[in-house]
Copies of this chain bind each other. A is one copy, B any other.
Amino acid sequence: MARFGDRIGMLRNDFVGAGLDGFVITHLPNLRYMIGFIGTAGAAVVTPDRCTLVVDFRYATAAREILASHPDGLVDLVLVDRTYDETLTDLLHRPEASRIGIEGSSMTVTRFERLSTLLAGLDRRGVSGAVSLVATDRVVERRSAVKDAFEIRTLREAARRLSHVARGVGAFLREGRSELAVAADIDAAIRDAGFERPAFDTIVASGVNSARPHARPGPRTLEAGDGVVLDFGGIYDGYCVDLTRTLHIGRPAPELLRLAAAVREAHAAAIAAVRPGARPSAIDAAARDVLAGHGLADAFGHGTGHGLGLEVHEDPRISKLPGAFPDDPVVAGMVFTIEPGAYVDGLGGVRIEDDVLVTGEGCDLLTDVPIEG
């Protein structure tokens, strides 16, 4: 489990470099990434010389087992006595003034205010120097976006299994079956393939419903001529993969086939644009320009992709500028989706999604499923 020591070491470099005396991890996927702890609650306080996992009674045994698998002294354990925030406050109190980073992109405003109030109380009682909490943005996420060898192996295996599921979904589609029945079959196939569970609510959007990129499966039954967008994912050993194919029932309308051909071309163009140093906005533009060339600029209203890892939507975000996310160039080891689509109200929609790994020169396609149409 040397990787946890490496990760904690990187975090220490990052926060010391940012002028901080310590760092509090409260985002649970980051706690899993950094320490290996899996739970619905938990936190960690990392200082230059100590890393303390904080869990409550429910997770005491699980936490002790994880710590036993780490090198001695890497992580120690503190159990919550009253509340998490009071325990964190106790751990953060130091004789001298200090600046502690918190995870601003996941900690809530209420929790930030409560922690600040508790720390100010310690300060007033003279038991601690002033502790100021500093909101940081995606410090751990920037590191975890670049996968290590263990993670790449896991994601590769997960994508292989999801591809196997995807090659079988055509058998679930028949005239008269409902979207809900197809979604249930896909979810069962995901579990049968060895996934812990689906990574998100499976999308089965047929006919006119397919014009909604995020439709929820409903009672609509499949009809001849339908396009059916099937978007599904799985969690394998904690890691998420995600895949979409659009299949047709019988003979689709020529307009739908033209949509499918344009999206296929956009999908190929985006994948061809993935290489170390490419900006997310440039990868996005590769897909978007193709669709615009087919007169479908307004039909593609979402981003081209998102990072995959312990979360199903993580950095990098492959989207156009200006957006809510930074546009830092992608680097080798990043894994993300490429999923352009085109949606026309009253006609239907098409989306094609694969998962790619950025390599030294370009990218590897982790998913491997024929594209229909």
Contact = CB atoms under 8 A, between A and B. Distances in A.
Q: Which of A60, A84, A108, A184 has the most CB of B within 10 A?
A: A108
Interface in A181-217: 184, 187-188, 191, 197, 201, 211-216
Nearest to A200: B40
A164 to B, nearest CB: 18
A60 B323 CA distance: 19
A113 interface: yes
The contact size tier of chain A is 35 or more
28 contacts: A40-B214, A56-B301, A56-B302, A57-B301, A58-B213, A58-B214, A58-B301, A59-B214, A61-B212, A61-B345, A82-B322, A82-B323, A83-B323, A84-B324, A104-B109, A105-B108, A105-B109, A105-B111, A108-B108, A108-B109, A109-B109, A109-B112, A109-B135, A110-B135, A113-B135, A184-B191, A187-B197, A197-B201
A216 B62 CA distance: 10
A302 B197 CA distance: 26
A55 B106 CA distance: 21
B59 A212 contact: yes
Interface in A59-116: 59-62, 82-85, 102, 104-113
A28 interface: no
A317 to B, nearest CB: 11
Contacts of A212: 58-59, 61-62
A105 B108 CA distance: 6
A6 interface: no
Given A56-B302, A212-B59, A324 B83 contact: yes
Nearest to A57: B301
Give me the 7 closest cross-chain CB pairs, A-B, nearest first. Answer: A57-B301, A104-B110, A104-B109, A58-B213, A105-B110, A83-B324, A109-B135
A38 interface: yes
A302 B59 CA distance: 10
Contacts of A61: 211-212, 345
Contacts of A112: 109
A318 to B, nearest CB: 15
A39 interface: yes
A349 B358 CA distance: 46
A116 to B, nearest CB: 10
B104 A108 contact: yes
Given A39-B214, A187-B191, 15 more contacts: A40-B214, A56-B301, A58-B214, A61-B211, A61-B345, A62-B214, A82-B322, A84-B324, A85-B324, A102-B109, A104-B110, A105-B108, A184-B191, A187-B197, A188-B188
A137 interface: yes
Interface string A231-273: 0000000000000000000000000000000000000000000
B110 A302 contact: no
A135 B117 CA distance: 14
Interface string A213-237: 1111000000000000000000000
Nearest to A209: B61
